[in-house]
Amino acid sequence: MKLESIQEHIALAREMEKHSIKIVQITDIIYSALCAGNKILSAGNGGSAADAQHFTTELVGRYKIEKKGFFAIALTTNSSILTAVSNDYGYHEVFARQIEALGKKGDILLLISTSGNSKNLIKAAEKAKMNGIQIIGLLGKEGGKLKNMCNLEITVPSDNTPRIQEMHALILHIICETIENKIMNE
């Protein structure tokens, strides 16, 4: 018996093969920024927040090999900032305010969203653009408003949130593995 979820996952993974060039481009942008001493800021909501944190962990720690820790911050992790900014300015400002404080030209903002329409991520993208920060998006559905705000994006063409998140995790793991391969080949 084949489960429908597995078949849908396999079909989307095959669809992601069409984005191989974009995955390489995203990896190159992230790797170049990190090697230049810049940082990766990442954000998302719900499961996408967990993906942002997971990716940051792989960069600061390791994916498969021992390496120097890279400068990466998940904007989803400081509960005091999240609650204070949400209380004082509104939840839509929770990431933009951190970008204003922590981001600088040369940094990369990775936005992960299954819809591409989260107001707090849109505000973060606006603030990043104002600060000369490149925006990379991992999106779902049709990409939403964020699609046109990103310097580079990959949109998973599905309305099924769990399958979108699975593809985002796959892409993030490929990026981590490719970065580590670059390090080993230096």
**What pLDDT digit, counting tens, does each position of 8-59 carry?**
999 999 999 999 999 999 999 999 999 999 999 999 999 999 999 999 999 9
- Cα(147)–Cα(70) distance, integer angstroms: 27
Q: Is 90 helix (H, G, I), strand (E, B) or coil?
A: coil
Strands 134-140 and 72-74: unpaired
Q: What is the pLDDT along the chain (186 residues), one digit of tens a residue?
A: 468 999 999 999 999 999 999 999 999 999 999 999 999 999 999 999 999 999 999 999 989 888 889 999 999 999 999 999 999 999 999 999 999 999 999 999 999 999 999 999 999 999 999 999 999 999 999 999 999 999 999 999 999 999 999 999 999 999 999 999 888 887
- CATH number assigned to the domain covering 16-184: 3.40.50.10490
* Domain parsing of the chain, residue ranges: 16-184
- Cα(87)–Cα(97) distance, integer angstroms: 13
- Cα(91)–Cα(102) distance, integer angstroms: 18
Cα–Cα separations (whole angstroms), residue 147 to 4, 85, 86, 115: 29, 26, 25, 10
Q: How many CB atoms lie within 10 A of CB 4?
A: 7
